[in-house]
Amino acid sequence: MTAQKTNLSKLISDYSSSLIERGFHRGNLRTLKPFQSTCLQHTDRIILGMVLTGNLEIQTASGTYRFQLEEEFLLPANLHFQVFAGLNGATIFLGKQKK
């Protein structure tokens, strides 16, 4: 296993533990291809996540927010949003708040 994969695995493990400690579900990994975007989405619970690779842009009715490597982001409950990956795609790890 390369050092980069080992570091990424440790980052995921540590962040997953952090999510649980803060009242969120364990979390899951999402990979977006270069310039990939999601459809308009809605969340009924708070989402907390981190960019593991690449760049991420989140658009909401109140603005556009950009995140880079190892930056954490928070999406409040009852929010409509759309996610866009940058030039090199993005890998994110995120968890929803427990009910």
Predicted confidence (pLDDT) per residue in 72-88, tens digit? 999 999 999 999 999 99
Q: Would you place residue 2 in the very low, low, confident or very high pLDDT band (cuts 50, 70, 90)?
A: low
What pLDDT shows up at residue 99?
84
Its pTM stands at 0.87
For 49-71, the DSSP string reads EEEEEEEEEEEETTEEEEE-TT-
> pLDDT tens, 12-49?
999 999 999 999 998 999 999 999 999 999 999 999 99
Q: Which of 71, 46, 43, 44 has the alpha carbon at shortest distance from 56?
A: 71
- Looking at residue 4, its pLDDT comes to 67
User: Residue 40: its pLDDT value, please?
Assistant: 96
Q: Which domains does the chain have, with CATH numbers?
A: 3-96 (2.60.120.10)
> What pLDDT sits at residue 7?
87
